[in-house]
Chain A
Amino acid sequence: MMLSPEDISALVITLKLAVLTTLILLLLTTPLAWWMARTRWRYRYLLEAVVALPLVLPPTVLGFYLLVMLGAHGPVGKFMTAIGGQPLAFTFAGLVIGSVIYSLPFVVQPLQNAFAAVGPRPLEVAATLRASPLDRFFTVAVPLAQPGFVTAAVLGFAHTLGEFGVVLMIGGNIPGETRVASIAIYDHVENLDYLHAHWLAGILIAVSFVLLAVVYGFNRRFRLLQS
């Protein structure tokens, strides 16, 4: 086996981070995406721009502000200290917060598009068949937007796997706690340990490829089903 225990621990942390981030994003942003897909609010585009910001900002910018916010002297850090906790910077929890923001558009946008594609008609039909708004959401909107959920989950997951800049800024590089695979690769290269770098990098490529193939394969099948 060409993976050291440290590398395996980095992979496990990466996986844990990606799974948690994806779950939190799906839970938090489904209502937001639903609302954004249906609202006629005239300033919706402003919110859409905010959601898309992590797409264009250098991760170091996101990481920098997060560090300021979450660190011991930042508002969130002070709050955490006040309630008897500790600042979130350089912790796994801080990493999760950073990843959630970093991968936000990759989850919100597919969900919003999927909900918009459902259109008002199936929901109106459900309303005439006695389904309450919540009932309609779970029995009509969610099943019909299912391809969007798969895309959102996989993209959010894969994008978190590839996270580097934000993690470096707010997570540091604490082995066994905040050292993720991408940073472990960076360390290996720094130390001219190309063999281990190859192994980790190869694993990330393989996992990302499989995930994306699942998304595109699923969406293609879905399109065929619709036609």
Chain B
Amino acid sequence: MSIAARFRIQRAHFLLDVDFSIPAQGVSVLFGPSGCGKTSLLRAIAGLDHIPGGLLSVGDTAWQSGETFVPTHQRALGYVFQEASLFPHLDVLGNVEYGLKRVPIPQRKLSVERLCALMDVTPLLKRKVDTLSGGERQRVAIARTLAANPRIILMDEPLTGLDQERKLEILAYILAVQREFHIPVLYVSHSRDEVNRIADYLVLMDSGRIMATGEVHEIFARLDLPLAQDSEAAVVIDAIVTSHDEEYSLTELKFPGGTFALPSLSLAVGARVRLQLAARDISLTRELQSGTSILNIFPTTVEAIAPAGAAQVIVRLSAAGVPVLARITRKSAARLELQPGSLVYAQAKSVALLS
């Protein structure tokens, strides 16, 4: 099942022209700089703005097509706005139940108790909304959205205005919700960090156009996109906790291309985590190094090389199919005689745990 959208929005200084589809599962992020049309597109998808000639379908349901335009309140969608936008005249419970009450009983699939517990809003239910902190407000807003039993949740930069700690907290809640209820999320963001942490699928936007769509691992490693050229270029890798090394306080994680050892994580064996490998933290060797302090080494095949400035190149590697980027000097690439197909060992100086 997938979600397909086609819109052409002409604004005074701006043309948005998009045609794309995303899988109706997991978290898809509409990613691009501020002002590239992400919010306009999300509003068109929600039906908050009626864009004549647009096309939008979720699975086999057409929400907009030709003359058909299903008004927002008849679309089974949820929308989390940049500001929590809670109703000030209702208490927290009133807010959470607002959408729920409007869903016919047979269509109510989620247990409100369960989702309130999951979002940790149960202790807040009797509170007035103007007594909540920013993070609490956004949690209530997400719970309210979920309670209306949406088939898809749209989120428009829901972390705006929160401090870093709160951001991570809300992201963790969004991921927990995603795992528990399996509702597809379309998330608008201009923050690479947020994308790294939650995106499964990426829709890359710039100046009103779609530059690329695809799996986040794949898009990050595409040398023809500006993401890989950026000095912050990195890939994300999903791995599974396999064992804990008590003696050295390390946790071992496995991904298809090899293993990682990270300082002890308080996670159960079998837990899924997301790791980030920055391209500038990867060095390459022809032979497997033994006399090195680096623990995280895995074999890879060079797939492509592209220049990155005058002195450096960016190398796309495949670790058993998992894309990895390495940013090294042009001189090193020449010395190693790197070319597509070369077998090299990737050494990761640092591995960041994202979730």
Contact = CB atoms under 8 A, between A and B. Distances in A.
B46 A128 contact: yes
A50 to B, nearest CB: 30
Contacts of B103: 130
Contacts of B81: 121, 124-125
B69 interface: no
Contact of B145 (A128, A131, A136, A143): A128
B72 interface: yes
Nearest to B47: A127
Interface in A121-164: 121-122, 124-133, 135-136, 139-140, 143-144, 146
A122 B77 contact: no
B87 A140 contact: yes
Nearest to B150: A128
Contacts of A129: 73, 98-99, 102, 144-145, 148
Interface in B2-48: 46, 48
A124 B46 CA distance: 10
Contacts of A121: 81, 83, 85
A128 B130 contact: no
Given A121-B81, A135-B102, A225-B130, A128 B87 contact: no
A56 B98 CA distance: 44
A121 B87 CA distance: 10
A130 B48 contact: no
Interface string B54-76: 00000000000000000111100
B78 interface: yes
Contacts of A131: 73, 98, 102
Interface size class of B (residues with CB under 8 A): 20 to 34
B78 A128 contact: yes
A226 interface: yes
A127 B144 contact: no
Contacts of A226: 88, 130
Chain B CB within 10 A, most for which of A125, A143, A146: A125
Contact of B89 (A125, A133, A136, A144): A144
A143 to B, nearest CB: 4
A13 to B, nearest CB: 37
Contacts of A122: 85, 87
B79 interface: yes
A127 B85 CA distance: 13
Interface residues of A: mostly helix, strand, loop or mixed?
helix
Nearest to A225: B130
Contact of B79 (A125, A140, A225): A125
Interface string A92-127: 000000000000000000000000000001101111
A128 B77 contact: yes
A126 B77 CA distance: 12
B302 to A, nearest CB: 48
Nearest to B94: A139
A132 B78 CA distance: 15
Contacts of B83: 121
Nearest to B144: A129
B106 to A, nearest CB: 15
A136 B72 CA distance: 12
Contacts of B89: 140, 143-144, 146
Contacts of A127: 48, 71-73
A125 B46 CA distance: 11
A132 B73 contact: yes
B23 to A, nearest CB: 22
Contacts of A130: 73-74, 99, 102-103, 148
Nearest to A132: B73
Interface in A160-184: none
A121 B48 CA distance: 10
A167 B71 CA distance: 48
B149 to A, nearest CB: 9
B72 A128 contact: yes
Nearest to A143: B89
Interface of B: 46, 48, 71-74, 77-79, 81, 83, 85, 87-89, 98-99, 102-103, 130, 144-145, 148
The 7 closest A-B pairs by CB, nearest first: A129-B99, A128-B79, A130-B102, A127-B72, A143-B89, A127-B73, A125-B85
Interface of A: 121-122, 124-133, 135-136, 139-140, 143-144, 146, 225-226
Given A126-B87, A128-B78, A135-B102, 9 more contacts: A128-B46, A128-B48, A128-B99, A128-B148, A129-B144, A129-B148, A135-B73, A144-B87, A144-B88
30 contacts: A121-B81, A124-B72, A124-B79, A125-B79, A125-B81, A125-B85, A125-B87, A126-B73, A127-B71, A127-B72, A128-B46, A128-B77, A128-B78, A129-B73, A129-B98, A129-B102, A129-B148, A130-B102, A130-B103, A130-B148, A131-B73, A131-B98, A131-B102, A135-B73, A135-B102, A139-B98, A144-B87, A144-B88, A144-B89, A225-B130
